[in-house]
Structure 1
Amino acid sequence: MSVTSSAPPCAVPQDVLSVSLGQGTMVQGPPADNSGSRFTPLVVLELASNTNPEAVAWLLSRIRDQQQDGGAELLVEQLGPGVDAQEKENPNMFLVGATWQRLLSGAEDVGLFKEFNDGSMRGFTCANKHDFKDYQGDGDSFLSMAECQYIIKHLLDTLRARQETHIPGHSEVKLYPGKSIIRRLQSKGILVQVFPLHDKEELKRLSFSWYRKVKLSLQPLDDIRHYYGEGQALYFGFLEYFTFALVPMALIGVPYYLFDWEDYDKYVVFAAFNLVWCTVILELWKRCSASLAYRWGTLSRKKAFEEPRPGFHGVLGFNPVTGREEPLYPHAKRLLRIYLVSLPFVLLCLYLSLYVMMIYFQMEGWALSIHDQEPSFWTGVLLFIPSIIYAVVIEVMNLIYRYAAEFLTEKPPAGVFISESPGPQSISSEYNHLVLRVLVFNFFNCFASLFYIAFVMQDMVLLRQSLATLLITSQILNQLMEAFLPYWLQRRRNKKMMRKVQQRRTLEDKELPLAEQVRLEADMSTYLGTFDDYLELFLLFGYVSLFSCVYPLAAVLVVLNNITEVYSDAFKMCRVFKRPFSDPAANIGVWQLAFEAMSVIAVVTNCSLIGMSPQVKAYFPDSESQLILWTVAIEHSQYLLRQVQDVQSQSARRGADQGLFQPILINLSLGSGCAAAFSHWSVQGCNGIPAQSHLGDMPTCLSWSWILHCPMSVLSGHTGLHRPPQESTGPHSNTTALRPPNEGRQDHGGRTQALCPQPG
Structure 2
Amino acid sequence: MLQGSSVDNSGPSFTPLVVLELASDAKEETIAWLMGRIKDQQQNGGAELLVEQLGPGVSTQEKYNPNIFLVGASWQRLLSGAEDLGLFKEFSDGSMRAFTCANKLNFKEFKGDGDSFLSMAECQYIIKHELDTLRAKDETHVPGYTQTKLYPGKSIVRRLQSKGILIQMFPLHEKEALKRLSFSWYKKVKLSLQPLDDIKHYYGEGQALYFGFLEYFTFALVPLALIGVPYYLFDLDDYDRYVIYAVFNLVWCTVILELWKRFSASLAYRWGTLSRKKAFEEPRPGFHGVLGFNPVTGREEPLYPNTKRQLRVYLVSLPFVLLCLYLSFCVMMIYFLMEGWALSVHDEEPTFWTGILLFIPSIIYAVVIEIMNLIYRYAAEFLTEWENHRLESSYQNHLVLKVLVFNFFNCFASLFYIAFVMQDMVLLRQSLATLLITSQILNQFMEAFLPYWLQRRRNKKMIHKVRKIRTLEGKELPLTEQVRLEAHMSTYLGTFDDYLELFLLFGYVSLFSCVYPLAAVLVVLNNITEVYSDAFKMCHVFKRPFSDPAADIGVWQLAFETMSVIAVVTNCALIGMSPQVKTYFLDSETQLILWTVAVEHVLLAFKFILTFVIPDVPKHIQIKLARLEFESLEALKKKKMLEASEFSKNVQ
Q: Shorter-chain TM-score category?
A: over 0.9
CA distance in 1, matches of 2:599, 2:297: 46
2:7 corresponding residue in structure 1:
11
Q: Does 1:290 align with 2:265?
A: yes
Instruction: Give 1:397 shift.
Output: 0.4
Indicate conservation of the 8 Å contact 1:82/1:89, yes or no: no
Instruction: Give 1:612 shift.
Output: 1.1
CA distance in 2, matches of 1:442, 1:264: 28
CA distance in 1, matches of 2:273, 2:337: 53
Counterparts of 1:63-74 in structure 2, within 5 Å, are 63-74=38-49
2:513 alignment partner, SS class: helix
Q: Deviations over 1:482-503 (max 9, x none)?
A: 0111111222334311322344
1:370 corresponding residue in structure 2:
345
Q: Deviations over 1:81-101 (max 9, x none)?
A: 033322221111000001110
1:680 corresponding residue in structure 2:
none
Amino acid corresponding to residue 317 of structure 2 in structure 1: S
CA distance in 2, matches of 1:584, 1:605: 36
Change (3 A) 1:329 1:651: farther
2:402 corresponding residue in structure 1:
437
Please point out which of 156, 159, 179 is paired with 2:134: 159
Structure 1 residues without counterparts, runs of 5 or longer? 1-6, 17-37, 411-420, 654-732, 737-760
Q: Deviations over 1:65-115 (max 9, x none)?
A: 111111111110000103332222111100000111001000001110000
Indicate conservation of the 8 Å contact 2:585/2:592, yes or no: yes
2:650 corresponding residue in structure 1:
none
Q: Does 1:272 align with 2:272?
A: no
2:71 corresponding residue in structure 1:
96
Instruction: Give 1:341 shift.
Output: 1.9
Q: Does 1:349 align with 2:324?
A: yes
Change (3 A) 1:371 1:581: same
2:563 corresponding residue in structure 1:
598
Please point out which of 280, 287, 297 is paired with 1:312: 287
When structure 1 is superposed on structure 2, of 236-245 and 628-637 the one drifting more is 628-637
Indicate conservation of the 8 Å contact 1:234/1:289, yes or no: yes
Please point out which of 452, 458, 479 is paired with 1:493: 458
Instruction: Give 1:308 shift.
Output: 1.1
CA distance in 1, matches of 2:270, 2:335: 50
Change (3 A) 1:651 1:250: closer
Q: Deviations over 1:446-479 (max 9, x none)?
A: 0000000000101111100000000000000000
1:237 corresponding residue in structure 2:
212
2:622 corresponding residue in structure 1:
none
Instruction: Give 1:256 shift.
Output: 0.4
Please point out which of 530, 533, 545 is paired with 1:568: 533
CA distance in 1, matches of 2:589, 2:474: 81
Q: Does 1:481 align with 2:446?
A: yes
When structure 1 is superposed on structure 2, of 297-306 and 528-537 the one drifting more is 297-306
Taking only aligned residues, the RMSD between alpha carbons, in angstroms, comes to 1.9
Counterparts of 1:56-455 in structure 2, within 5 Å, are 56-260=31-235, 265-410=240-385, 421-455=386-420
Q: Deviations over 1:211-262 (max 9, x none)?
A: 0112211000000000000000000000000000000010000000100376
Change (3 A) 1:317 1:647: farther
Amino acid corresponding to residue 150 of structure 1 in structure 2: Y
2:325 alignment partner, SS class: helix
Structure 2 residues without counterparts, runs of 5 or longer? 619-624, 629-652
Please point out which of 518, 534, 543 is paired with 2:499: 534
Change (3 A) 1:89 1:566: same
Indicate conservation of the 8 Å contact 2:6/2:116, yes or no: no
CA distance in 1, matches of 2:526, 2:467: 39
Instruction: Give 1:351 shift.
Output: 1.1
Instruction: Give 1:555 shift.
Output: 0.3
Indicate conservation of the 8 Å contact 1:294/1:300, yes or no: yes
Change (3 A) 1:109 1:8: farther
Instruction: Give 1:163 shift.
Output: 0.9
CA distance in 1, matches of 2:498, 2:34: 36
Indicate conservation of the 8 Å contact 1:11/1:139, yes or no: no
1:612 corresponding residue in structure 2:
577
Q: Deviations over 1:699-751 (max 9, x none)?
A: xxxxxxxxxxxxxxxxxxxxxxxxxxxxxxxxxx9995xxxxxxxxxxxxxxx
When structure 1 is superposed on structure 2, of 141-150 and 500-509 the one drifting more is 500-509
2:279 alignment partner, SS class: strand
1:581 alignment partner, SS class: coil
Indicate conservation of the 8 Å contact 1:9/1:40, yes or no: no
Instruction: Give 1:278 shift.
Output: 1.1
Amino acid corresponding to residue 574 of structure 2 in structure 1: L
2:350 alignment partner, SS class: coil
CA distance in 1, matches of 2:594, 2:459: 64
Instruction: Give 1:423 shift.
Output: 2.3
Amino acid corresponding to residue 304 of structure 1 in structure 2: A
Indicate conservation of the 8 Å contact 1:525/1:576, yes or no: yes
Q: Does 1:555 align with 2:538?
A: no
Indicate conservation of the 8 Å contact 2:582/2:592, yes or no: yes
Instruction: Give 1:171 shift.
Output: 1.0
Q: Does 1:461 align with 2:426?
A: yes
Q: Does 1:587 align with 2:552?
A: yes
When structure 1 is superposed on structure 2, of 643-652 and 252-261 the one drifting more is 643-652
Amino acid corresponding to residue 613 of structure 1 in structure 2: S
Indicate conservation of the 8 Å contact 2:152/2:299, yes or no: no
TM-score relative to the length of structure 2: 0.92
CA distance in 1, matches of 2:582, 2:466: 74
2:93 alignment partner, SS class: coil
Q: Deviations over 1:678-718 (max 9, x none)?
A: xxxxxxxxxxxxxxxxxxxxxxxxxxxxxxxxxxxxxxxxx
Q: Deviations over 1:586-627 (max 9, x none)?
A: 000000000011111111000111111121122233344443
Amino acid corresponding to residue 526 of structure 1 in structure 2: T
TM-score relative to the length of structure 1: 0.79
Instruction: Give 1:393 shift.
Output: 0.4
CA distance in 2, matches of 1:649, 1:78: 55
Amino acid corresponding to residue 119 of structure 1 in structure 2: G
CA distance in 2, matches of 1:275, 1:651: 20
Indicate conservation of the 8 Å contact 1:467/1:551, yes or no: yes
The percentage of counterpart residues that share the same residue type is: 81
Change (3 A) 1:325 1:377: same
Instruction: Give 1:432 shift.
Output: 1.1
2:147 alignment partner, SS class: strand
Amino acid corresponding to residue 8 of structure 2 in structure 1: V
Instruction: Give 1:505 shift.
Output: 4.2
Instruction: Give 1:507 shift.
Output: 5.0
1:122 alignment partner, SS class: strand
Indicate conservation of the 8 Å contact 1:432/1:590, yes or no: yes
Q: How many residues align?
A: 620
Indicate conservation of the 8 Å contact 1:286/1:649, yes or no: no
Change (3 A) 1:648 1:44: farther
Amino acid corresponding to residue 587 of structure 2 in structure 1: D
Amino acid corresponding to residue 226 of structure 2 in structure 1: L
Counterparts of 1:653-692 in structure 2, within 5 Å, are none
